[in-house]
Amino acid sequence: MNIKFEEKYIADDSAIVIGLPENIKELKNFDELDTLLNGLTEEIISANVLSDTFGKVTTTGVTIQRQYRKVVAVGLGDSSELTALKVQKAVGKLFQFMDGEKDSQAQFILDTFAFEPKEVADAIGMMSAVSNHVLMGYDTSDKKQFRDELDVTLITKEDVKAGYDHGAALGNSIILARDFATMPPNLLYPESFADEVAVQFKERPYIKGEVKDFDTLVQEGFGLLAAVGKASVRKPRLVTIEYKHPDAQSDEPIALVGKGITYDSGGYSLKTRTGMRSMKYDMSGAANVVGMMDAISKLELPVHVVAVLALAENMVDGNGMRPDDVYQSLSGKTVEVSNTDAEGRLVLADAVYYASTTYNPKIMMDFATLTGAVIQAIGEDRTGVFTNQGRKFINNLLISSKVTGEDIWHLPISELEDDRVKQSDIADLINADFKPGGASFAAAFINQFTEETPWVHFDIAGTSNTSSTTPFAKKGSTGVMIRTIVDLIESGTLYE
Give the per-residue pLDDT at 286: 98
Q: Check whether 91 has a pLDDT greater than 90.
A: yes
CA distance 374 to 407: 14
**What share of residues in the chain are helix, strand, coil (percent, to 5)?**
40, 20, 40
CA distance 247 to 347: 33
Among 47-56, 121-130, 252-261, 320-329, which is the least confidently predicted range? 47-56
Residues composing the chain: 496
User: What radius of gyration do the chain's Cα atoms show?
Assistant: 25
Question: Helix 284-298 to helix 161-182 angle, to the nearest 10 degrees?
Answer: 160
Q: What is the dihedral of CA 426, 430, 435, 441, to 10 degrees?
A: 150
Q: Report, as an integer, the average pLDDT of 297-306.
A: 98
What residue type is assigned to position 98 of the chain? Answer: M
Instruction: Render pLDDT for 13-60 as a digit per residue (tens, 0 to 9).
Output: 999 999 999 989 889 899 988 888 888 888 888 888 999 999 999 999
- Percent of the chain at pLDDT > 90 equals 92
Helices (H), 54-111: 84-101
Give the per-residue pLDDT at 47: 86
- Higher per-residue pLDDT: 308 or 136: 308
| 271 in catalytic set | yes
- Which SS3 state, helix, strand or coil, does residue 20 take? strand
Within 290-407, strands assigned E span: 304-314, 326-328, 334-336, 363-368, 383-387
**Other CB atoms within 10 Å distance of the CB of residue 350:** 28
Give the per-residue pLDDT at 438: 97
Helices (H), 143-282: 161-182, 190-201, 214-220, 223-229, 273-276
Give the per-residue pLDDT at 274: 93
Give the per-residue pLDDT at 444: 98
415-432: buried (b, 16+ CB within 10 Å) or exposed (e) per residue?
eebeebbeebeebbbbbb
Give the per-residue pLDDT at 239: 98
Residues in a beta bridge with 67 = 64
Domains of the chain: 2-156 (3.40.220.10), 170-495 (3.40.630.10)
Cβ distance 98 to 72 under 8 Å? yes
CA distance 120 to 112: 10
Q: Report, as an integer, the average pLDDT of 156-180.
A: 98
Give the per-residue pLDDT at 38: 84
CA distance 111 to 285: 38
Cβ distance 446 to 137 under 8 Å? no
Helices (H), 232-280: 273-276
CA distance 113 to 24: 10
Give the per-residue pLDDT at 36: 84
Residues in a beta bridge with 334 = 328
Give the per-residue pLDDT at 66: 79
Residue from 230, 345, 420, 483 carrying the catalytic annotation: 345
Give the per-residue pLDDT at 490: 98
- Percent of the chain at pLDDT > 70 equals 100
Give the per-residue pLDDT at 268: 98
Closest CA to 368 of 393, 389, 386, 392: 386
Give the per-residue pLDDT at 62: 86
**Cβ partners under 8 Å of residue 210, min gap 6:** 239, 240
Among 15-19, 66-70, 174-178, which is the least confidently predicted range? 66-70
Instruction: Render pLDDT for 380-399 as a digit per residue (tens, 0 to 9).
Output: 999 999 999 999 999 999 99
Helices (H), 102-140: 117-130
Give the per-residue pLDDT at 60: 92
Closest CA to 464 of 439, 481, 448, 449: 481
Residue from 86, 204, 271, 402 carrying the catalytic annotation: 271
316-326: buried (b, 16+ CB within 10 Å) or exposed (e) per residue?
beeebbeeeeb
| 280 in catalytic set | no
Instruction: Render pLDDT for 454-488 as a digit per residue (tens, 0 to 9).
Output: 999 999 999 999 999 999 999 999 999 999 999 99
What residue type is assigned to position 99 of the chain? Answer: D
Query: Over the chain, what is the mean pLDDT?
Result: 96
Give the per-residue pLDDT at 432: 97
Instruction: Render pLDDT for 420-445 as a digit per residue (tens, 0 to 9).
Output: 999 999 999 999 999 999 999 999 99
Instruction: Render pLDDT for 153-165 as a digit per residue (tens, 0 to 9).
Output: 999 999 999 999 9
Query: Residue 444: left if φ>0, alpha if ψ -120 to 50, beta else—which one?
Result: alpha
Among 8-17, 184-193, 322-331, 396-405, which is the least confidently predicted range? 8-17
Residue 495 pLDDT grade (very low, low, confident, very high; cuts 50, 70, 90): confident
**Other CB atoms within 10 Å distance of the CB of residue 202:** 9
Ordered strands of the 326-328 beta sheet:
326-328, 334-336, 429-430
Give the per-residue pLDDT at 97: 98
Query: Residue 239: left if φ>0, alpha if ψ -120 to 50, beta else—which one?
Result: beta
- Which SS3 state, helix, strand or coil, does residue 67 take? strand
> Element (H or E) spanning 71, and its range?
strand 67-77
